[in-house]
Structure 1
Amino acid sequence: MEQQELLKLLLPTELIEHFDLIRIEPMEDGYHLFLDQHNIPPAEFASHKLESKGFLDQAIIRDFPLRGKACFLHLRRRKWHDHDTGRSVYSSWNTVAEGTRLTAEFAAFLKEFDR
């Protein structure tokens, strides 16, 4: 099984479509997966002249446990400079459940489990 197929079993689909797994660090408190967004500008800015300007600060969110240990996703989203407007632009997703540091899927699971 190739790495991409394995990731599809472990991570939310939206992350697999937009991020590359950079590294995995097993630590005492669980597994830390580091992901960087692909260098593909947001579709809504397709007609603009954009230049990649690195990453926003990483967000650390919690996902389903792996092998009985916590799983922390370190996401670095890209930012682009829009030469047409002079502003910075970036993609946005609903990966994180509102008001939490959990993936939307994991938060929904915990909410249902709590009933």
Structure 2
Amino acid sequence: MSSATVSLLKLFVPDFIVENFDFKRVFEDSETIDFELKELNTPPTEWDGIKVFSKGVLPQIVIQHIPIRGHRIFYHIIRCRWLNNESSKVIYLNWTLVEKGTRITREFAAFLKEINLYSAE
């Protein structure tokens, strides 16, 4: 991805997503923008002492993010998984993309909580 594209995306999506996912496609209509994202197939440095092999992907999840310019934003996320050769267990990164108990990003949840606090006053 070009540096200009990355700079532009950083204005609209969390840095974490820009740094750890490939943008496969973007779909836009009059009401929504859908980003199709695939996690980079790069095991994290904390697994350096473990032999891991790519084991495909987890089922796609869809989460909602903060609306942009009147459009609802959805991330269609495909995450990687690996096989730990020593334990023969499938492992994956435990990203905290989604606010617990919801299907929205943590940033969007914090935004909604803040709005709710102001409306209660």
8 Å Cα contact 1:42-1:90 kept in structure 2: no
Gap runs ≥5 in structure 1: none
Paired with 2:46 and 2:59, the residues of 1 have a C-alpha distance of: 22
Counterpart residue number, 2:46: 44
Taking only the aligned residue pairs, the percentage that are identical comes to 37
Q: CA RMSD in A?
A: 1.4
Count of residues in correspondence between the two structures: 115
Kindly state the Cα deviation for residue 98 of structure 1 after the two structures are TM-superposed.
0.8
Letter in 2 for 1:49: K
Letter in 2 for 1:60: V
Pick from 104, 107, 113 the counterpart of residue 105 of structure 1: 107
Letter in 2 for 1:110: L
Kindly state the Cα deviation for residue 47 of structure 1 after the two structures are TM-superposed.
1.0
Gap runs ≥5 in structure 2: none
Kindly state the Cα deviation for residue 29 of structure 1 after the two structures are TM-superposed.
4.7
Letter in 1 for 2:80: R
Match runs of 1:51-90 below 5 Å: 51-90=53-92
8 Å Cα contact 2:63-2:105 kept in structure 1: yes
8 Å Cα contact 1:22-1:34 kept in structure 2: yes
Counterpart residue number, 2:15: 13
Kindly state the Cα deviation for residue 112 of structure 1 after the two structures are TM-superposed.
0.4
Letter in 2 for 1:97: E
Kindly state the Cα deviation for residue 61 of structure 1 after the two structures are TM-superposed.
0.4
Larger Rg: 2
- Secondary structure of the corresponding residue to residue 73 of structure 2: strand
Kindly state the Cα deviation for residue 43 of structure 1 after the two structures are TM-superposed.
3.0
8 Å Cα contact 1:30-1:72 kept in structure 2: yes
After superposition, the C-alpha distances for 1:78-111 in whole angstroms (9 at most, x for unaligned) are 0011111101010012211111111000100011
Counterpart residue number, 2:116: 114
Q: What TM-score comes out, normalization by structure 1 length?
A: 0.92
Letter in 2 for 1:12: P
8 Å Cα contact 1:39-1:52 kept in structure 2: yes
